[in-house]
Amino acid sequence: MADAAKGLAVLDAARAEREKREEDLLDRSFWLVEADVNTALPYVVKGLFGRRQIIVFWGAPGSGKTFIAMELACSVGSGIPWRGRKTMRGIVLYVAAESSRAYIENRFSALKRERPELAEAAVLIVPHALDLLRLQAGDVDRIINTASRFHGDIGEVVLIVIDTLAVTFAGGDENSPEDMGAYVGNLVRIRNETGAAVLVVHHCGKDEAKGMRGHSALLGALDAELAIEGAGNQERILRTGKVRDGDGYTDLFAFSLRPVELGTDSDGDPVRTCVVESTDESGTKRVRRNRAGAALGKHQKAVLRALEERGGRMVRTDLAHKLKDDGMPRNRVHDAIAGLLDAGMLVAHNDCQPPEVSLP
């Protein structure tokens, strides 16, 4: 009898839990006839991502991901536009899992010195290698509990930066669907229970052109993707990839990392780090042309050179005649121009008579 009573109690508890979940689901649902326009969207960085979204920011090692992420975090923590885009002011938790306190502190100190308007940003830096793969480690709960402590006058957490996935994966297999699924599930839990945007800094694979490394479960779960093209001594571009509700597949800005000296150590040697130095729109377009040009054929490069010599815009037939006069085979002229138009490296102006083409 005791076993039967215990079994009934278990069934009753399960039934009550199921009914509670159904009630919760109904509470969070709405009928089609109730749908209305929402103009007050909860963006964090306007046009890129908002609260309760997951963002992955990837690039090659040494490409400058951390320096960009720090600047973005401080802009949100200050409510100051980030590279021309409005931000929602709020608290940012920055999990600096790859760096010890001394090194990450130097980087933030350099940013404060170079950008004094960001010096009082509400950014809480957590210089610890957390384990966000295994729930039993307790670090997922620690992030959620820390975020929940900020309310009222001090504001609330609107962005959580995890730098990087590799370290917080805590020895898991990034290519395993089970491990990546568990990690993504924990990101979703952090997002849902804090209401913040969660931005994860990640690496690309050996071939940058193939995108972020690891199992595709991560790509499927994200709401927005930021990526850096280029590393080392190359010119770099920060661009978007997939963006669920914003400006997808767009070049944001080209940039370089400028070394800055902070002082000298006990041996008298200089202590250095870097800050981000971006270009304007025309500079970004130039870097894009240069990067794309490295993969272009000789005929397409000749088209771009011809346009640059004529100020960047020509009547299309005049351009074709010039290219043929310069020795380009007749059957290659159309293909070269059409290929550049398809790639977005030329702009067609068909409303003109005669039609013209120009550099972007």
Q: What is the pLDDT of residues 5-48, one digit of tens each?
A: 555 555 555 566 665 565 678 888 999 999 999 888 899 999 99
The CATH architecture to which 296-358 belongs is: Orthogonal Bundle (1.10)
- What integer is the mean pLDDT of 189-194? 96
CA–CA gap between residue 26 and residue 31 (Å, rounded): 10
CA–CA gap between residue 186 and residue 74 (Å, rounded): 25
Alpha helices, DSSP H, located in 101-231: 101-114, 139-148, 165-168, 177-194, 217-221
Higher confidence at residue 200 or residue 242?
200
C-beta of residue 319 within 8 angstroms of C-beta of residue 300: no
Cross-sheet strand order for the sheet of 347-349 = 313-315, 356-358, 347-349
- What integer is the mean pLDDT of 344-353? 83
Q: Is the pLDDT of residue 122 over 90?
A: yes
Q: What confidence score (pLDDT) does residue 31 get? A: 92
Least confident of 150-154, 222-226, 249-253: 150-154
Rounded to the nearest 10°, the torsion over CA 140, 144, 147, 149 is -130
Q: How many whole angstroms from its chain centre is CA 173? A: 22
Q: What confidence score (pLDDT) does residue 16 get? A: 60
Prediction pTM value: 0.78
Percent of the chain beyond pLDDT 70? Answer: 91
The CATH architecture to which 43-279 belongs is: 3-Layer(aba) Sandwich (3.40)
Domains of the chain, residue spans: 43-279, 296-358
Percent of the chain beyond pLDDT 90? Answer: 62
Rounded to the nearest 10°, the torsion over CA 314, 320, 322, 325 is 180
Q: Which residues are CB-contacts of 295 (< 8 A; sequence separation ≥ 6)?
A: none
Phi, psi for 278 (deg, rounded to 5): -100, 165
Phi-psi region of 238 (alpha: psi -120 to 50; beta: other; left: phi over 0): beta
**Element holding 172 (H helix, E strand):** none
C-beta of residue 276 within 8 angstroms of C-beta of residue 64: yes
- What integer is the mean pLDDT of 156-176? 96
3-class SS at 233? coil
Give the pair of three-digit tokens for residue 298. 């000789």
**Beta-sheet strands, E only, within the chain:** 43-45, 49-50, 54-59, 91-96, 123-126, 157-163, 197-203, 224-229, 236-243, 251-264, 270-278, 313-315, 347-349, 356-358
Q: What confidence score (pLDDT) does residue 80 get? A: 97
- What integer is the mean pLDDT of 159-173? 97
- What integer is the mean pLDDT of 343-348? 78
Q: What confidence score (pLDDT) does residue 20 get? A: 59
- What integer is the mean pLDDT of 141-155? 85
Give the pair of three-digit tokens for residue 276. 């981000």
Q: Is the pLDDT of residue 181 over 60?
A: yes
